[in-house]
Amino acid sequence: MIGVKYIYQESVVIMMVNEHDALGKAPKNFLVPYILLILREVPVHGYELIQRLTVLGFPGVDRGNVYRMLRQLEQDHYVQSTWSTASAGPAKREYSLTESGEAYLHIYADELERYQSMLSQFFRMYGSFVQLYNPFFGTPADSPENPEKKSIRRNDEDDPT
């Protein structure tokens, strides 16, 4: 859980986040749909999967965690593995998506779409809130709380030119 400390300073709330928290890192379960999506394209071994995850924006992905997830996905019959001896060196376990994994990926995609909708709504609301109440953005021009806008209108109306 993220440790958050709130500081109240001149009517602005500043949120301080503990440096040991996971900000900037994707939740572990967020890796699952990406793993399934990659395996849907082409069977890959674990190291290549980790490289692809890094390219997709998971720079600090824990290798051990990825392999544990692969084992769990295999136990759940979403992924299957075979030993590949195609390359030089020792045999490598290659992972691929099963039909059950394909179905699970579709379910996961539907769920992520729902979350995307919720996040979009949150950011619309948040953007409106920040625009209305953040002193650094000022008060909206047509707000009744904006005395400058009212005085500008009165001055314009009073000016015969």
* pLDDT, tens only, 106-125: 999 998 899 899 999 999 88
pLDDT at 160 (0 to 100)? 53
pLDDT at 60 (0 to 100)? 85
Lowest mean pLDDT among 113-117, 135-139, 145-149: 145-149
* pLDDT, tens only, 59-98: 888 999 999 999 999 999 999 999 988 888 888 999 999 9
Read off the DSSP letter of residue 38: H
pLDDT at 59 (0 to 100)? 86
pLDDT at 96 (0 to 100)? 97
Question: Is 9 strand, coil or helix?
Answer: strand
Whole-model pTM?
Answer: 0.62
Residues 6+ apart with CB under 8 A from 131: 137, 140
Distance, in Å, from the CA atom of 152 to the CA atom of 141, rounded to the nearest integer, reads: 11
pLDDT tier at 129 (50, 70, 90 boundaries)?
confident
- Which helix (H) or strand (E) segment holds residue 12: the answer is strand 12-17
pLDDT at 140 (0 to 100)? 53
pLDDT at 86 (0 to 100)? 82
* pLDDT, tens only, 39-53: 999 999 999 999 999
Torsion of CA 51, 107, 109, 129, to 10 degrees: -130
Task: Tokens for 128, please give them.
Answer: 């409106």
- Please say whether the beta carbons of 70 and 81 come within 8 A: yes
> In this structure, which amino acid lies at residue 22?
A
| Average pLDDT score over the chain | 76
Domains of the chain: residue spans and CATH: 25-130 (1.10.10.10)
Question: Is 138 strand, coil or helix?
Answer: coil
pLDDT at 18 (0 to 100)? 43
Query: What would the DSSP string read from start to end of 54-122?
Result: HHTT-TT--HHHHHHHHHHHHHTTSEEEEEE-SSSSS-EEEEEE-HHHHHHHHHHHHHHHHHHHHHHHH
Distance, in Å, from the CA atom of 123 to the CA atom of 110, rounded to the nearest integer, reads: 20
pLDDT at 136 (0 to 100)? 65
Judged against a pLDDT cut of 80, whether residue 23 lies above it is answered with no
